Structure 1
Amino acid sequence: MTSLIRRSGPFAHRNARLFVLFRVLYNARAYYPILAIFFTDLGLTLDQFVMLNFIWAAAIFLLEVPSGALADTLGRKRLLVISSAIMVVEMGILLFAPKDGGWLLLALCGLNRFLSGASEAAASGADEAIAYDSIPEEGRESAWDEVMATTMRWQAVGFLIAMSIGGLMYDPSWLLNLFPGFSFSESAAHRLPVALVFCQAILCLVITLRLEEQGHGDDKVGESCSSALHLTLRTAKHAFTTPKIAMVIVGGLLVDSVIRNFATINSEYYRLIGIPEWTFGFVGSAIAVGNWFVPGIAKRVNHRFPPLSALAIAGGVAIVALAALVPAWPWFGLLPAILLMSLLGFIGFTVSRFLHGVADSSQRATLLSVKGLAFNLGYGLWSLAFSLLLAGMRDRGDDAGAFQAALLWQVGIVAALVIPYFAWAKWKERRAA
C-alpha cells in the first residue's frame, strides 16, 4: 500500500493509481448492506428482486464479451467512461423510483438492473487491461500481483467505510440522533445510501476521463466493430476449447455464482436471524476487515497449489458455510455469512491471476470479459433458479419459512454440482500431465 501512496513501483504510472481509485469507488457502494431490503421496502417481493438480478446478468450476457472486444479495438478508456456515465444514470433511477409503484416500480427497477449490468459489462476487463498494460513488461507478473493485492486492500478500506455509513443512513432513528435539529422521514432516509453512490458515480466518471489510453483503439468505428466481432469469436473459441482455461473458468463460476446470489440477498438473511437493521453496515464492515487478509491468503494458496486445487478448496469451504446458514442461528449465523462473502475475493484473485498469465496483451480485455460473461451467466442462472425455488417454497408457508427452506435445498444442489465437477476436473488434469 505504501508504494501506491509514494507512487513507486507499479504505481509510478497514473493508470495503475487511477485503477485502484476507480475500483474502490465503483465497487464499494453504500447501499450494498441493505440492497435486498431496499428493493423489498420499495414494494417488491424477495423473489421479484432475485428475478431482477437475472435481468442484470442477462444484460452482461449480451454485452460483456462485445464490450471487452470493443475495449481492445475502440479503446479501454472509452469503455470505462461509458461505464461510469451509465452508473450515474442507473443510480439516478433508484433515487426517484416511486415507493409501492406497482408495475411502474417494477419496470424502473428492471431498467436499473439492466443499466447496472451494462455498466459492469463495459468496465469488466477494460479497467484491468488498461492498468496491466501500463506496467513495464519486465517483472510484470509480480508487479501485477502487487497491484491486485493493493487494490483488494484499498477496496477493503472502502467497503469498511461504505458499509458502516450505508447501514446507519438507512435507519432514520440514527439520523435523528446524529442530527436532532433535522427531520428525516423513513422514505427519505432509505434513499440516502443511493444518493451517496450517485456521488461516487460522478467521481468515477471524472477518474476515467483522466486515464491514458495505452495504444489500443482507433477512430474507425465500422472497422473496429468488425474487428471486435472476429476477436470475440476467436477469443471465446480459444477459451472454451483450451481445457486448462475452460476448467478454471467453469470451476470458478460454480462457486462464485452461489456466493454472489447470497451477497445480493444477505440483508434478508440478517433479518431472518434477527439482526437489527442499523447493524447491517457494521456486518459489511466486518466482512471488509476480513477481506484485508484475503489477498495474503490467496497469494500463499496460489503459490502452493494450482488454480483448480485452490478453487476446489474454496468450493469445499463454501459448502460448509452454506450448510451453517440453514439453522439461522441468531447472531451466530453471521459467522458462516462472513466466511462465505470472504471467498469472493479469493476466487477473483485466483481466476484473475491465472488468466493474466495465459492471455496475450492484444486479447487480454476480451479474455477477461469472456470470464466475466461466464461468471455472470452462472450468477444469472443461479438467481433465476433460486427465485423459482423461493416462489415454490412460499406456497408452503410464510416468507421467512420459505427463505429458510430454500437455503436448505441450496446446500444439496450446490454439493451435487461442485463435488463431482472438481473430482472430474482433477482427474482430467492428471491425465493431461
Structure 2
Amino acid sequence: MSSVLDCSGPFAHRNPRLYVYFTTLYNARAYYPVLAIFFTDLGLTLERFVFLNLMWALAIFALEVPSGAMADTIGRKKLLVFASCIMVVEMLILLIAPKNGGALLFALCILNRVLSGASEAAASGADEAIAYDALPEEGREDAWDGVMSAAMRWRSVGFFITMILGGLLYDTAWLAPVGLHIPPEVSHRLPIAVVFVQAIACVFITLRLDETPYSHADLGQRCRSAFRLTLKTAKMAFTTRNIAVIIVGGLLIDSVARNFATITSEYYRLIQIPEWSFGLLGALSGAIGFFVPSLARYLNVRFSPLGVLGIAAGVTILSLSLLAPAWPWFGLLPAMSLMTMLGLVGFTVSRHLHASADSSQRATLLSVRGLAFNLGYGSFSLAFSMLLAAMRKTAGDDAFRAALLWQLPFVAVMIATFFIWARLTKPREIASAD
C-alpha cells in the first residue's frame, strides 16, 4: 500500500495512483452496512427494495456497453468525470427523499437507482482501462497485478473505515450513556452525507486524470465507431470460449453473492445482531478482504480460471446452505465467507480479461463483463424478490428465512449446469470473433 503513497513501482504513473484513490472513494460507501434497512426504514417493503436492484440493473443494461465503447472513442476521463457527477446527484436525492412518502418516495428511490446504475456504467471499464493503458507496455501484466492488489487492499481499508462509520452513524444509541441523542430521522441520513462528500472528492480526482489515447474523429464517426466496437467486442466475448467461460461463470457466482450483500443488514436483523454493530461487521468483512488479493493471486497461478471459479462455486454453495437455517450469531460465518467470493471472482475475471483484450477495445470488453454481471445480478434480484413475495403468502413473517432456504437448490442446479457446459464445450467448438 505504501507504494501508492510514495509513488513507486507502477504508481510512479499518475493514472494508476489516482485510479486507486478513485475506486476506493467510489466503492467504499458508508451506507452499505445499512443499505437494506435504510430503504425499509424510509418506508419501502423489502420486496420493493429488492425490486429497486432490478431498476439499477436495467440502467446498466441500457448504458454499460455503450459507455465503454464511448470511453474508447471519446475518452475515458470524460466518462469518469461524468460518473462522479452523477454520484453527487444520486446521493443528494437520498438526502432529500421524504420518509413514508408513498409514491413520491418510491419514485425518488427508483430515480436514485437508475442514476446509480448510469454512474456505475460510465465508470465500469473506463477506470481500469485508463489506469492499465498508462502503464509501460514492458512488464504491463505483472504491473497490473500489483495495481489490482493495491486497489483491493485500499478498498478493504476504505470499507473497514466506512463500514464502522456508517453503522455507528445510522444507529446512535451507543451515544446515550454520554447524554447525546441524535433523532433517527437525522442519524439515518448521516451515512448518505458521508458518501455525498466522497462523491465530490471523486469529481476532483477524475478531473486530475491524464487522458489516454482515443479516437479524435467527428461525432458521427465516433458514434458509428462506438456501435461497431460494441458489436464486435460483444461477439468476441461470447463466441470465444475462454472469455465466455470466464464471464458466464463469474456472473453466476457474483450475482448470488452480490444479491446477498445488498440484504445483509436484513439478515443481521434476522439472526438477532444489534444494529449498532452492523458497521463493525462490515469493517470485519473489509479486513478479511484485505487478504483476498494474495489468496487470489496464488489460486490464479496454481489453477486454471475454471478451477478458481470451481473453488469459488463450492464455497458459495456451502455458504448458502449454512445461511438458510439463520442461526443467531453463527450465521455471521457463512455471510462473511459468501461476500469474500466477490473479491476472489472479481480478481480472477479482471486478470484474465485484461490478458485477452487489445488496448483499442479494453474498456468495451470490461463493460461487456460489467453488463453481463449486472444483468445477472438484476435477474437474480428479481427472482429473489418474486420468491420473497411468494413466501410472504405461505410463510408470513418467516418469509425471508424461507426464501434463503429455497434459493439454495436453484443456485446449486444453476452452477452445476454451468460447469457441465464448460467441461463439455471444447475451444474448437466455438468460433472466435473476427
Q: Which band: TM-score by shorter chain?
A: over 0.9
What amino acid maps onto 1:30 in structure 2?
A
| 1-structure distance, mates of 2:177, 2:21 | 32
Aligned residue runs from structure 1 range 183-262, under 5 A: 183-218=181-216, 220-262=218-260
Q: Which position in structure 2 is the counterpart of 1:275? A: 273
Please state whether the residue corresponding to 2:99 is helix, strand or coil: coil
Alpha-carbon offset, residue 339 of structure 1: 0.4
| 2-structure distance, mates of 1:156, 1:256 | 18
Alpha-carbon offset, residue 57 of structure 1: 0.5
Q: Which position in structure 2 is the counterpart of 1:411? A: 408
Q: Which position in structure 1 is the counterpart of 2:421? A: 424
Please state whether the residue corresponding to 1:270 is helix, strand or coil: helix
CA distance 1:187–1:423, change in 2 (3 Å)? same
Q: Which position in structure 2 is the counterpart of 1:393? A: 391
Q: Which position in structure 2 is the counterpart of 1:402? A: 399
What amino acid maps onto 1:408 in structure 2?
L
What amino acid maps onto 1:15 in structure 2?
N
Q: Which position in structure 2 is the counterpart of 1:115? A: 115
Contact 2:173–2:276 (8 Å) recurs in 1? no
| 2-structure distance, mates of 1:112, 1:312 | 35
Contact 1:169–1:175 (8 Å) recurs in 2? no
Contact 1:393–1:406 (8 Å) recurs in 2? yes
- 1:347-402 per-residue CA deviation (whole Å, 9 max, x = no partner) reads 00000000000000000000000000000000000000000000000011333x10
Contact 1:393–1:403 (8 Å) recurs in 2? yes
Aligned residue runs from structure 1 range 58-207, under 5 A: 58-176=58-176, 180=179, 183-207=181-205
What amino acid maps onto 1:99 in structure 2?
K
Q: Which position in structure 2 is the counterpart of 1:301? A: 299
Contact 2:241–2:427 (8 Å) recurs in 1? no
Contact 2:357–2:365 (8 Å) recurs in 1? yes
Contact 1:75–1:218 (8 Å) recurs in 2? no
Where structure 2 has 5 or more consecutive residues not aligned to the other structure, the ranges are: none
Aligned residue runs from structure 1 range 243-392, under 5 A: 243-392=241-390
Contact 1:257–1:376 (8 Å) recurs in 2? yes
- 1:72-116 per-residue CA deviation (whole Å, 9 max, x = no partner) reads 001000000000000000000000000000010000000000000
What amino acid maps onto 1:83 in structure 2?
A
Alpha-carbon offset, residue 226 of structure 1: 1.6
Q: Percent identity?
A: 64
Contact 2:392–2:399 (8 Å) recurs in 1? yes
Contact 1:71–1:217 (8 Å) recurs in 2? no
Contact 2:395–2:402 (8 Å) recurs in 1? no
User: Which stretch shifts more, 123-132 or 215-224?
Assistant: 215-224
Alpha-carbon offset, residue 424 of structure 1: 2.5
Alpha-carbon offset, residue 272 of structure 1: 0.3
Alpha-carbon offset, residue 38 of structure 1: 0.1
| 2-structure distance, mates of 1:312, 1:431 | 22
Contact 2:16–2:147 (8 Å) recurs in 1? yes
| 2-structure distance, mates of 1:8, 1:176 | 47
Alpha-carbon offset, residue 312 of structure 1: 1.3
| 1-structure distance, mates of 2:120, 2:214 | 20
Contact 1:168–1:175 (8 Å) recurs in 2? no
Alpha-carbon offset, residue 6 of structure 1: 1.6
| 2-structure distance, mates of 1:367, 1:177 | 54
| 2-structure distance, mates of 1:118, 1:431 | 37
CA distance 1:173–1:414, change in 2 (3 Å)? same
What amino acid maps onto 1:302 in structure 2?
N
Contact 1:270–1:280 (8 Å) recurs in 2? yes
What amino acid maps onto 1:134 in structure 2?
A
User: Which stretch shifts more, 347-356 or 417-426?
Assistant: 417-426
Please state whether the residue corresponding to 2:145 is helix, strand or coil: helix
Alpha-carbon offset, residue 421 of structure 1: 1.2
- 1:227-283 per-residue CA deviation (whole Å, 9 max, x = no partner) reads 111110111011111111111100100110011000000100000000000000011
CA distance 1:4–1:53, change in 2 (3 Å)? same
Alpha-carbon offset, residue 216 of structure 1: 1.8
- After superposition, the CA RMSD in angstroms is 1.4
Number of aligned residues: 430
| 2-structure distance, mates of 1:105, 1:283 | 29
What amino acid maps onto 2:20 in structure 1?
V
What amino acid maps onto 2:120 in structure 1?
E
CA distance 1:385–1:222, change in 2 (3 Å)? same
